[in-house]
Amino acid sequence: EKSNIYNMSGHNKWSTIKRKKGALDAKRSKIFSKIIKDITIAVKESGADPEHNPRLRLSIANAKGASMPKETIQRAINKGADKDAATLIETTYEGKGPQGIAIFVEATTDNIQRTVSNIRAYFNKHGGEMVKNGSLNYLFERKGVFVVPLGDMNADEFEMEVIDAGAEDVLLEEGLVNITTAMDDFGNMMKKLEQLKVEPESASLQRIPKTTETLDIESARKVLKLVDIIEDDEDVQTVYHNLTLTDEMMESL
């Protein structure tokens, strides 16, 4: 089933992202609330006109990719334009999970005190601890990550086009093309997809672990439980970790 059309780094970075996407699809309302926050912040930063606001354009594309209703998108834009709405702050937290697994949390909140005390409590309660911001940064690389439906495009021709725009990894799986770029090429890839008139299902900057740690099933279970609990917090946008997720492990979990 998997045709790995092009993989410069020689290993599949996608396993973690792909499975997480599967898990996230089950949490539809969570996805919506994340995108609504993204739209609201984008509007507060640079106005309600997507033509002149690349971040808003991207958030709207992600909203469409997640099949968010038009009225929900419009409400989020209006909320961002409302001068009296609560100010949202973007923030990150770092921590170690069970067995020292690195966990990186991105959050968007209107109350930093609440968020930080919640996240600290999750770590403490589940065999981990928060660490000073910046101490785990070096373990992750920020990458552009695009998921694009192949549709009736020719896979080889499309691959050549995206490599031309800076794709480092191109992986075709179940009719979706997963593209990874360096952070600096994120904008070029967005432009290239617009030129090709291709709507990505999702496009985001993600923190990809440079290397991953392998644990026994029991320890891995504990780490993923902590990740799930953090991810369920309404202020949390995304959680990254450097645990290896093998097929065997996912099956047994």
CA dihedral over 97, 179, 174, 26, signed as positive or negative:
positive
Sole residue written with tokens 């009225």 = 71
Q: How far apart are CA 17 and CA 33, in angstroms?
A: 20
pLDDT digits over 195-243, tens only?
A: 999 989 999 999 999 999 999 999 999 999 999 999 999 999 999 999 9
pLDDT digits over 121-179, tens only?
A: 999 999 999 999 999 989 999 999 999 999 999 999 999 999 999 999 999 988 999 99
- pLDDT on residue 140: 95
Burial (0-12, 13-18, 19+ Cβ within 10 Å), 134: exposed
One-letter amino acid of 125:
K
